[in-house]
Amino acid sequence: MLGYTITQWLFGILSFLAIMFALMVVFTRNPVNSVLYLVLTFFCIAGHYLVLNAQFLAVVHIVVYAGAIMVLFLFVIMLMNLNEDTEPQKTLISKIIAGCIGGVLLVVLVGSLKGAEQLQLHQSGASQIGLVKNLGKVLFGEFLFPFEIASVLLLAAMVGAIMLGKKEIK
Amino acid sequence: MINTIPINYYIMLSTILFIIGAVGVMARRNAIIVFMCIELMLNAVNLLLVAFSTLHNDANGQVFVFFIMAVAAAEVAVGLAILSMIYRNIKSIDIDLLSKLKH
């Protein structure tokens, strides 16, 4: 099809959708819609992981981000009863300034990365590094200590969230 | 079957997603939306890590993404707890009101 392979088509479509949904996250006024667009963005990024042969990460990404983190966001937004009417808006001038800073940042980053070496991504179908077996070997071999530290971090976060979330007993 | 996509395309895509997140942080006043834009920026970085991991055929990048996800989950849990506590105290999560850190 027009000289492009299926992978390149997939990359183009997923990139376009991801960028569109990401823009919608920023520009939608209703916070609930914002969360839903962010979930769609995460699905597009999971699709990118699949294109990149990182199957395990794609599944974990959907489970952790779209499944857990976004539900938490949605839960808090609905708990606070936020909607379009209560949404605080910045003044137009500060929005324009934010857009300008973003544009300048984009130009700087693109300009600095333009001279990078032109490397082609060789994705043979035989690439096995994204599978659970290989990732598990690396994770529980080379990265065993950071893995244990991460468990302590999650425990600390859980205790902290509970401490912050409970009502103060007077 | 070998499909090739230049790594520069992934660099561009990640850069654009990161910039959108950064603009969102600067342009919105709702603290929860700001949080979501930070998640978007983290995901842009994750995507680039996975792309380079595939480029070099090295699993370390993907393990790193795994750790970033764990840290992001912890960050969101604590951050949302702080936000709900702030909402309980001052009935708003407008970051411009929070800039003085008092009520």
Q: Are the Cβ atoms of A94 and B27 closer than 8 angstroms?
A: yes
Distant-in-sequence, close-in-space partners of A51: CB < 8 Å, separation ≥ 6: A7, A10, A11, A14, A123, B5
Q: Angle at which helices B7-27 and A92-114 pack, to 10 degrees? A: 160
Phi (first) and psi of residue A118, to 5 degrees: -85, 95
Measured between CB atoms, which of A57, A116, A157 is closest to B74?
A157
Q: Are the Cβ atoms of B10 and A80 closer than 8 angstroms?
A: no
Q: Are the Cβ atoms of A129 and B96 closer than 8 angstroms?
A: no
Quote the minimal CA–CA distance from A2 to chain B in Å: 15
User: For residue B2, what pLDDT band results from cuts at 50, 70 and 90?
Assistant: very low
- Percent of chain A surpassing pLDDT 90: 34
pLDDT tens string B51-61: 888 888 888 88
Q: Tell me: pLDDT of B85 over 60.
A: yes
Instruction: Supply the ipTM of this predicted assembly.
Output: 0.90
Q: Tell me: pLDDT of A123 over 80.
A: no
A66: tokens are 């779209």
Q: Which fold has domain A1-85?
A: Four Helix Bundle (Hemerythrin (Met), subunit A) (1.20.120)
* Interface check B23 vs A, CB under 8 A: yes
B65: tokens are 């993404």
- The pLDDT of A87-103, averaged and rounded, is 84
pLDDT tens string A22-70: 999 988 888 889 999 999 999 999 999 998 888 899 999 999 988 889 9
Q: Tell me: pLDDT of B37 over 90.
A: yes
Q: Are the Cβ atoms of B81 and A160 closer than 8 angstroms?
A: yes
* Interface check B6 vs A, CB under 8 A: yes
**pLDDT (0 to 100) of residue A40:** 94
User: Is the model more confident about A121 or about A153?
Assistant: A153
Q: Are the Cβ atoms of B55 and A77 closer than 8 angstroms?
A: no
Q: Specify the amino acid at residue A167.
A: K
Q: Could you tell me the domains of chain B? A: 7-100 (1.10.287.3510)
Q: Tell me: pLDDT of A127 over 80.
A: no
Q: Are the Cβ atoms of B50 and A109 closer than 8 angstroms?
A: no
Rounded to an integer, what distance in angstroms lies between the CA atom of residue A62 and that of residue A10?
A: 18
- Classify residue A90 as left (phi > 0), alpha (psi -120 to 50) or beta: beta
Phi (first) and psi of residue B94, to 5 degrees: -75, 120
- The pLDDT of A3-9, averaged and rounded, is 80
User: For residue A121, what pLDDT band results from cuts at 50, 70 and 90?
Assistant: low
- The pLDDT of A140-147, averaged and rounded, is 90
- The pLDDT of B18-47, averaged and rounded, is 91
Average pLDDT taken over every residue of chain A:
85
Q: Tell me: pLDDT of B23 over 60.
A: yes
**pLDDT (0 to 100) of residue A120:** 64
User: For residue A170, what pLDDT band results from cuts at 50, 70 and 90?
Assistant: low
Average pLDDT taken over every residue of chain B:
86
**pLDDT (0 to 100) of residue A169:** 61
Contacts of B78 in chain A (CB under 8 A): 157, 160-161, 164
Contacts of A165 in chain B (CB under 8 A): 81, 84-85
Closest residue in A to B83 (Cα) is A76
- The pLDDT of A59-82, averaged and rounded, is 88
* Interface check B98 vs A, CB under 8 A: no
- The pLDDT of B17-33, averaged and rounded, is 90
**pLDDT (0 to 100) of residue A95:** 85
**pLDDT (0 to 100) of residue B1:** 37
